[in-house]
Amino acid sequence: VSGRVAIVGAGPGDPELLTLRAVRELERAELVLYDALVSPEVLALAPNAQRFSVGKRAFRPSMRQETIHALMIRAARRGKRVVRLKGGDPFVFGRGGEEVLALRAAGIPYEVVPGISSSVSAPALAGIPVTHRGLAAAFTVVSGHAEAAWRPVLAGIAPRGHTVVVLMGLAARGAIAAFLLERGFAPTTPTALLLAAGTPRAHTWIGPLEALAGFEVPVGLADAPGTIVVGDVVGLSPAALRREAAEGDGEAYAHAR
């Protein structure tokens, strides 16, 4: 039996941002188990594979993690080349670690192919560097999914000199903004909300932290992945500079890649 599993990061959505190794794994795959955030253009690179969505997506039912493990293991034991395809990087909130442990326990050969994490690329595609000399010497990435998880993390971050990146942060934007303001972040701290970054639906909002809670989600984007970025580096985005020039406020800018 020569079955094996590659746990592959698909990056932010644009197939051009796949790694060469990810492309090769997809081309040779016989079975692809993919998450909801993986784009159709990326899936098209595995024309010879059976493709199954095991997709997690906010507010929708998804396959149990144990079921995903069982599917991978069964297919590999039947000799299949399996690709477990995840948006972004498999080890950044992708539960890739849990899948690795399951494969190890089952004795299945596996490898992990890193992908471009949206924690860095979503800001980058909007022209925001997560670090910048004089503005941010560090960045912290946290999930906005559970308040019990993000509160203690955000509580330790100083209001200046550090970039905050919240993945899956759309629904919690009001609570997160309120908490940071309460912790001493200036109401004017430059803030970005990046929806569906790296995809054709990408939408960038830039504004002061105090306006984040009032952001209204555009029609059709309620289920898009939303990345919040808070910190002075957001002011380097071309959209922020245009905004400043226009002296507008609360405006939204469509993101041109």
Binding site for a copy of itself (CB under 8 A): 11-12, 14-21, 23-24, 89-93, 95-98, 100-101, 104, 112-117, 119-121, 123-125, 127-133, 137-143, 146, 149-150, 152-153, 155-158, 161-162, 233, 236, 238
CA distances from 90 to 78, 93, 95 (A): 24, 7, 7
Least distance in angstroms from the C-beta of 216 to a copy of itself: 28
Nearer to a copy of itself, 11 or 207 (CB): 11
Least distance in angstroms from the C-beta of 99 to a copy of itself: 10
The three-class DSSP label of residue 253 is strand
Rg, C-alpha atoms of the chain: 19
First to last CA, the chain: 45
Nearer to a copy of itself, 147 or 251 (CB): 147
Give CA–CA dist 139/3, Å, rounded.
39
User: Among residues 14, 35, 89, 232, which one is catalytic?
Assistant: 35
Contact 37, 88 (CB under 8 A): yes
Least distance in angstroms from the C-beta of 68 to a copy of itself: 14
Least distance in angstroms from the C-beta of 35 to a copy of itself: 15
Catalytic: 35? yes
Nearer to a copy of itself, 211 or 227 (CB): 227
Contact 225, 195 (CB under 8 A): yes
Q: Cα–Cα–Cα angle for 124, 126, 129, nearest 5°?
A: 35
Give CA 114 to chain center in angstroms: 13
Nearer to a copy of itself, 75 or 136 (CB): 136
Catalytic residues: 35, 56
